Chain A
Amino acid sequence: MIQTTLDIATIRKDFPILNRKVNGQPLVYLDNAATSQTPQQVIDAIVDYYQGYNANIHRGVHSLSQEATDAYEMARKKIQEHFNIAKSQEVIFTSGTTHGINLVATGFSSFLKKGDEVIVSAMEHHSNIVPWQMLCERTGATLKVIPMNVNGELIMEEYHKLLSERTKLVFCNHVSNALGTINPIEEIIEAAHKVGAAVLIDGAQAAAHIKPDLQALDVDFYVVSAHKMCGPTGVGMLYGKEEWLKKLPPYQGGGEMIAEVTFEKTTYADLPHKFEAGTPNICGGIAFGAALDYLNSIGFETLTQYEDELVHYATEQLLSIDGLRIYGNAKHKTSVISFNIEGIHPYDIGTILDKLGIAVRTGHHCAQPIMDFYKIPGTVRASFSFYNTKEEVDKLVEGVKRAKSMLE
């Protein structure tokens, strides 16, 4: 029995896509870690924008432009409040997490030199590995890795040993997309600051389940994507402390990001516009704000509690299947169950589940180092959201059993 004060049946009505069928079966959507579904309230915000006040922002003197600017800046305010950010100019709109990470990594090129070290965790998404490798190649800095144990938890003693006055940057995800581990970012941030290193936390996987207080965390950079938190694709946020954002050079040149341009010299606009060159994803930004409104109307505490119960139930049920192994058994984890069945390729299980209308992800989940660690080609990953039900978990378990009997 799953206890919750949420009325899941009513919540599901907000998500039109959950009514559709796939391969003749009602859709069971368990790929929320890749992208979450979109409630009608967010779809309405997108439609309202294009039907009512589509215009370019920040420059126009006409009313439509002013309305669009107001709505876009209101969305920035909502993001600021949601993440408890001190100043609205510390909220940079991006195209998503990857964009945010690359912006910071490119900017740091001018601060790093040979002999400097950057630390990354063993359970990062490729988007939080490759930009730093590129940064190290450009600057001659060295990349160090915080190892993890077999449960999928970072070995913190090793992290503390890696830290030194050579450490300039530390990168870690808040929640692992492949394993669901919630990393001890408070400790990571505090320890890094003691040696004078800056910290970037990839919140892509966490933000749909945890409402972080960025001021309390005292983190230097935090990045998220809207599409993992009921918002649209192609928009996200980079939070940076004002002192860092002032120091970092602009990432892209273009309109919006300038104060004055002559052929001799250009002076850059103030924050946040310095990092928002060109016409942004205006509609996306506004819809991101609507998505935060939606999630907050349910309440993070309530939805997290329900999701945790759902994951707990799913874990128990899945483990009742012979030969099934779950990867990632951290003490603190959320929303993700990565698993394999002995002797069966995850791709085969995913294919059969798809035929049954069940959407899961198979493969390395853009985290190949984790798969190498466990010496597996990949996993089947079921990831949950507050609109999923106990009945859907039962269908998943039935589906996996069926796949197993076909494939063995």
Chain B
Amino acid sequence: MTIQEIQEEIIDEFSMFDDWMQRYEYMIELGKSLPLIEEQYKVDDNLIKGCQSKVWVHAELDGDKLVFTADSDAIITKGIIAILIRAFSNQKPQDIIDADTAFIDEIGLKEHLSPTRANGLVSMVKQLKLYAVAYQTQLN
């Protein structure tokens, strides 16, 4: 599936919920299914800055695709990074670089998009894209 298709799938899933409680409960579920980062990569170098909770992200190439794993000590943050990883993992770096992130707004997480928000969703998106840029350079 392309990033676009996955994002539409996520939007579909979230459209079933009537209120914030259900959305958050679903996010918490997603957080629990996050592909966890291996312990050896849970180091300060892999921490995303700008988050009140700790978020570690690791990226590695599998063929020409970039695979992300992550973890967080806060479950809602884990849900957010899980959604992002679902959309961006197993994709070509150039596609990750080019992808837009409007779907975050559409699934009702707009409030998390503000750059001053302590959970740092913006920092997470930025970090995933930075990894993509780095690996794209490597592939070139």
Contacts and interface: CB of A to CB of B under 8 A. Distances in A.
Contacts of B11: none
Interface string B50-83: 0011100000000000000000011111000000
B91 to A, nearest CB: 28
Contact of B76 (A348, A363, A377, A378): A348
A250 B63 CA distance: 64
A345 B118 contact: no
Contacts of A325: none
A126 interface: no
Interface in B72-104: 73-77
Interface residues of A, number: 14
Interface string B40-55: 0000000000001110
B21 interface: yes
Contacts of A344: 75
A377 B53 contact: yes
Contact of B24 (A355, A362, A378): A355
A347 B77 contact: yes
B20 A347 contact: no
Interface in A348-402: 348, 351-352, 355, 362-363, 377-378
A352 B54 contact: no
B52 A363 contact: yes
A377 B21 contact: no
A378 B20 contact: no
Interface string B15-34: 00000110011001000000
A297 interface: no
B118 A377 contact: no
A75 to B, nearest CB: 32
A390 B24 CA distance: 28
A378 B75 contact: no
B113 to A, nearest CB: 14
A355 B20 contact: yes
A346 to B, nearest CB: 8
B119 A347 contact: yes
Given A363-B52, A363-B118, A23 B74 contact: no
A362 B20 CA distance: 20
Contacts of B20: 23, 355
A89 to B, nearest CB: 40
Contacts, number: 42
A61 interface: no
B73 A345 contact: yes
A351 B54 contact: no
B25 A345 contact: no
A347 B24 contact: no
Contacts of B74: 345, 347-348
B53 A406 contact: no
A407 interface: yes
A347 B21 contact: no
Nearest to A378: B52
B52 A407 contact: no
A348 B24 CA distance: 10
Contacts of B21: 355, 406
A377 B73 contact: yes
Contacts of A406: 21, 24-25, 28
A347 B25 contact: no
Given A345-B73, A348-B53, A348-B75, 17 more contacts: A345-B53, A345-B77, A347-B53, A347-B74, A348-B76, A351-B119, A352-B24, A355-B20, A362-B52, A362-B118, A363-B52, A363-B118, A377-B73, A406-B21, A406-B24, A407-B28, A407-B76
Interface of A: 23, 344-345, 347-348, 351-352, 355, 362-363, 377-378, 406-407
21 contacts: A344-B75, A345-B53, A345-B74, A345-B75, A345-B77, A347-B52, A347-B76, A347-B77, A348-B53, A348-B74, A348-B75, A348-B76, A351-B119, A363-B52, A363-B118, A377-B54, A377-B73, A406-B21, A406-B28, A407-B28, A407-B76
Interface of B: 20-21, 24-25, 28, 52-54, 73-77, 118-119
Interface pairs A-B: 7 shortest CB-CB: A345-B74, A347-B74, A347-B53, A348-B76, A348-B74, A347-B52, A363-B52
